[in-house]
Structure 1
């Protein structure tokens, strides 16, 4: 079978076009999930073999980070062939087997499409850089230098330095918002948009149920190449780039977030709608992230969800901060839909980032399952894994190598999944893994936690099961959103079902008053507080979950 040959795939999930609303999506970093062939690197067969774990957890879908053919300068986020599997991960046949396995287990499959840029080894770029008049001369963002030979404007790369790289063949600069080996595609060229829509068609025909769209707000650049204005120091934050990176010194008005992006997103949505597929767009913007999320998910012809960064920040969110974020979403994305996460492959694991106790970790897990929106959990999060300590000599991430030691990169959250503790590799591989397995992780492996009913793994299962059991939590409205000191509380409602949710986000006890009405306790296995009276006393890091009975 050639890779462009159409497959006939029966996808039972297309019957419900709203499957994504309130879904729990499990993110898989394929290098580190399961090695099936002894190379020390995870692969698609390994994913397929471990999917029962995710199904048993109760997740609705998986999101697989890039597995496409790539020179791996940025671990797959530098694509050299959008329609093939990199040999380190297997073959297209392995992908088809993985899809079939997932669907048989009731799991939908979302794949990570990186459309804003390619690898400099992609055939499109190799042709584009040959001359200024070849068939793909305008498929990337090329510009002449200023008269003094410097780059055309002041745009900066997230990975450090100028966003422009000189190319001697064309005697021009090309744009790269990330590594110099990741040139940006030119979305002002219609043929580029058509080619990327063909990529989406290719994977939808193979049976995928949706996409996670990397850096969705970077697709289109300002065609006049105007300078970005400076950002005042009091408005800078390190949500998107570490504080040591000068990228935070600019307001990125022209290098991303352009209004022309909407036209392409509508085309992409039209393609997805034919398959009942859904997308979650990653919005990377430290100043306007929630506003952009609202813009990109408005109506029914753009993206279904956007991936918000507010709870991926360095500081642990307080009750007041969560109220602020959710009220902002109500203001700027009233008819949109957020996808929340506490951890992913780009940030320090939240247990370490926020220095959470076991009780705090459990309460935060319950909390995210009660928020309005969809939820992403990152592999190992269900085990309560901390950030791994990776020595400089073991680092693989170019981002960490560039900014070490002030920023240690992303390898600490990307170390291999721990399945059992029979050897140092945690059941991940029979060979030396591409990143070392953390000693601290080994004791928290899946097998050990499966046998312990009090383990974090079972808490996550219970929290996800609660979300599935109550439509109000999965897809309802949220009202009366407020905080009383360190206690966050709100109600969720859907089709006559009303649930009161309160969370004491502190190390001390707290007291709250229930709303009017009669309530019955739910979530007992999540340590939910008793609601037999009108006043509820919450212990440190204790939730209160109650169903209105009248």
Structure 2
């Protein structure tokens, strides 16, 4: 029985070890020529997505929104913004994806709404409306200054004065994104109703944006740091958000109670799942707390692998620390998304297919589920844009120290020989860089040696090995920049034990290895290491995977 058959037997836990392909709808495929990607465009490309051998898609927000933060400012949780299509289009997308064996997960932005949401319109109208307490309102200090020193992720105070109520409201992100008050039981019930709306439409799960921001603590000042740290949007010494220890404005214990309510709702719909985004200094512990016990989130991911550090010592320390903490919880790993520079640039692998193959093998051999961001399979580098080309409010605010998130959000290139890469018949909302055209899907599709086909082959291979999908993990000590680990699926058949070695060096490596290790006949071409007579030979940035007897201990002296 292979891993795919196990999915069928344990269909309600399809998410455990799944590979989820993230689609940024504005930039995936434009079907009507207005320069903005849409739901019909996604439907047109579902065969391509299925060809990647992924298990699910994740749609970034397509809800009704003024688009101040490009859909992460929701004005109607139940509406599809007209630029993306209609509810009927969404229903067609779910049906078409399911017909291809793809699960559908969607973003849910629960901690805040747009200031144009009807709830906020009523809440700010006066202190006496039925929804007056649906958002986080607070009095000014005696001198008129904000209630606390809390900072917004996008810069400046997290409090905005409102002249209608003569109070401040909390916004952890843009001024136009007021925070909901999860201490109000009516808010919790209303949010759960919004989630239920999409469950009833057949979605298979939710990616929960900034889920640790739902509750705040006491209105006390956060203590300072002595230096800026890597913040929610990356290493940002120009952003005062990184100057504080965020003790009171997020990641509060009360959030766990809300997650338990959310999980109880999802459990009413067998086979649905949740993956939470965690932005916190102590993200590994938060990931563990948010997924342990089986009554909170199914999975969580953090920004630990979304920074610039990618040396094997850092990766080994991060992964072993996660394993030491998570217990019965479940991680979800990603090397890229719509908020960080593309991994090909961030991890210094532009035009370096060997490194990109190594990174995909690293990601897809860890214990946990995986999110792949559109364009990673093509090896797209970060797009270099001018200030005049930017649309991202964060980039515009912090230019030139920080150039925003538009460089990873440029349109997906489908064809190298057409204008705008065949993304749109019109002028796209962000430009398609020339260097992306050379990496277009059409150019890589029929090339057996392309990165795109390396992704397809490795994902197909991974599906056939239950140890890589659902197995336990054990890390061996680093040696000569080689990360060595075992994946084991013990117990009743199918049992499997695999050895994985990943060479992060530009030099070939030869290491002692178990004599019992036997190469896998179905391994794809990127698995290029050789196991010979108790030695493992790895080319630069090489990958090796072998099978060992599952029922006995085998020494690996590396």
Give the alignment's TM-score, normalised by structure 1: 0.95
Residue 314 of structure 1 is matched in structure 2 by 308
What corresponds to 2:330 in structure 1? 337
1:513-528 equivalences under 5 Å are 513-515=512-514, 517-521=516-520, 523-528=523-528
Distance in 1 separating the partners of 2:277 and 2:191 = 17
Q: Distance in 1 between matches of 2:194 and 2:231?
A: 33
| Contact preservation (8 Å) 1:280, 1:305 | yes
Secondary structure of the 1:310 match is coil
- Where do residues 381-420 of structure 1 align in structure 2 (5 Å cutoff)? 381-420=376-415
Q: 2:169 aligns with which of 174, 180, 185?
A: 174
Instruction: Tell me, yes or no, if the aligned pair for 1:175 and 1:184 is still in contact at 8 Å.
Output: yes
The equivalent of 2:508 in structure 1 is: 509
SS in 2 for 1:41: coil
**After alignment, is 291-300 or 318-327 more displaced?**
318-327
The residue that corresponds to 1:8 in the other structure is: none
Measure, in 1, the Cα distance between the counterparts of 2:326 and 2:476.
16
Cα distance change of structure 1 residues 95 and 15 upon mapping to structure 2, 3 Å threshold: farther
In structure 2, what is the Cα distance between the partners aligned to 1:524 and 1:53? 20
Structure 1 equivalent of residue 258 of structure 2: 264
Q: Contact 1:520–1:549 at 8 Å: present in 2 too?
A: no
The answer to whether the 8 Å contact 1:239/1:313 transfers is: no
1:392 offset after TM fit, Å? 1.2
Hey, what does 2:540 align to over in structure 1? 540
CA distance in structure 1 between the aligned counterparts of 2:197 and 2:78, rounded to whole angstroms: 7
What are structure 2's unaligned runs of at least 5 residues? 1-6, 551-558
Matches of 2:83 and 2:524, distance apart in 1: 45
Using the alignment, how far apart are the partners of 2:476 and 2:184 within structure 1? Answer: 45
Distance 1:341 1:480, change over 3 A: closer
State which of 477, 480, 486 in structure 2 corresponds to 1:482. Answer: 477
Q: Deviations over 1:297-339 (max 9, x none)?
A: 0011100100121110122x12211111111112221221111
CA distance in 2, matches of 1:469, 1:308: 28
Q: Does 1:125 align with 2:120?
A: yes
Conserved in 2, the CA contact under 8 Å of 1:521 and 1:528?
no
Instruction: Decide which of 315, 323, 327 is 2:320's aligned counterpart.
Output: 327
Q: 1:131 to 1:51 in 2, by over 3 A?
A: same
Pick one of 404, 420, 427 that aligns with 1:425. Answer: 420
**Could you tell me which of 123, 135, 142 is aligned with 2:137?**
142
Q: Deviations over 1:36-63 (max 9, x none)?
A: 1111100001111101111000010000
SS in 1 for 2:316: helix
The aligned runs of 1:9-408 (5 Å cut-off) are 16-222=11-217, 224-233=218-227, 236-238=229-231, 240-241=233-234, 242-276=236-270, 277-285=272-280, 287-315=281-309, 317-356=310-349, 357-408=352-403
Q: CA deviation at 1:524?
A: 4.3
CA shift, 1:530, in A, is: 1.5
1:466 Cα offset (Å) = 1.9
Does the Cα contact within 8 Å between 2:153 and 2:232 map onto a contact in 1?
Answer: no
Q: Deviations over 1:261-314 (max 9, x none)?
A: 1111111101111112100000011x2000000000001110010012111012
CA distance in 2, matches of 1:109, 1:40: 24
> What is the aligned-residue RMSD (CA, Å)?
1.5
2:292 is paired with a residue whose SS is: coil
The answer to which of 357-366 and 195-204 deviates more is 357-366
